[in-house]
Chain A
Amino acid sequence: MKPGKNITKELQDIAPTLAKLDKTNFYQVEEGYFGGASLKIIELIEKPVHTEIVPPVLCAVRDLPLYAAPAPDYFESFADRMMKMAHAEEVAEELSYALPILEHVEKKSLYAVPATYFASFPKAIVKLVSKEETESSVSHWAHVWEALTEAALSLISRPRYAFVMASVMSVIVCVGLVVNTQSSLSGDDKIFAQMQQIPDAELHHYISKHRDEFDERTILTNINNVDFTHYFDRPDQVTPHIESHSQGQTEEEINENILD
Chain B
Amino acid sequence: MTDREILDLFHNGSSRENAFKLLVEKYQQKIYWHIRRMVVEHENANDVMQNTFIKIWKGLENFRSDSQLFTWMYRIATNECLNYLSQQKKHDTISFDGTDNEDDDSLSPSNYVRADTDNIDPDLLLEKLRKAIESLPEKQKLVFNMRYYDELPYEQISEILSTSVGALKASYFHAAKKIEKFLLSTD
Contact = CB atoms under 8 A, between A and B. Distances in A.
Interface in B1-28: 2, 17, 20-21, 24-25, 28
Interface residues of A, number: 34
B85 interface: no
A128 interface: yes
Interface stretch (A39-47, A83-91, A191-199, A208-216): A83-91
B96 interface: no
Query: Which of A99, A109, A113, A130 neighbours the largest number of chain B CB atoms within 10 Å of its CB?
Result: A99
A95 B179 CA distance: 12
A122 interface: yes
A121 interface: yes
A132 B117 contact: no
A126 B24 contact: yes
A101 interface: yes
A114 B43 CA distance: 10
Contact of B129 (A76, A105, A128): A105
B36 A113 contact: yes
B72 to A, nearest CB: 17
Contact of A129 (B57, B151, B179): B57
B17 A99 contact: no
Contacts of B63: none
A57 to B, nearest CB: 42
B149 A122 contact: no
A99 B49 contact: no
A90 B50 contact: no
B113 interface: no
Report, as a range, how many residues of chain B touch the other chain: 35 or more
Given A99-B176, A105-B126, A129-B54, A91 B148 contact: yes
A126 B23 CA distance: 11
B9 to A, nearest CB: 14
Interface of A is mostly: helix
A102 interface: yes
A107 B145 CA distance: 11
Given A98-B176, A98-B177, A122 B24 contact: yes
A93 B132 CA distance: 21
Interface in B112-169: 117, 122, 125-126, 129-130, 133, 147-149, 151-153
A121 B49 contact: yes
B117 A101 contact: yes
A99 B179 contact: yes
B184 A118 contact: no
Nearest to A133: B57
Contact of A110 (B122, B133, B177, B179): B133
B125 A118 contact: no
B166 to A, nearest CB: 14
B53 A125 contact: yes
Given A101-B184, A125-B24, A87 B53 contact: no
Interface of A: 76, 84, 87-88, 90-91, 94-95, 98-102, 105-114, 117-118, 121-123, 125-126, 128-130, 132
Given A76-B2, A111-B40, A122-B24, 6 more contacts: A105-B126, A109-B33, A110-B129, A111-B36, A111-B130, A125-B53
16 contacts: A76-B2, A91-B147, A95-B148, A99-B177, A105-B122, A105-B125, A105-B126, A110-B130, A113-B36, A118-B28, A121-B28, A125-B49, A126-B20, A126-B24, A129-B54, A129-B57
Closest 9 A/B residue pairs (Cβ):
A98-B176, A99-B176, A122-B24, A110-B130, A129-B57, A125-B53, A91-B151, A88-B151, A122-B21
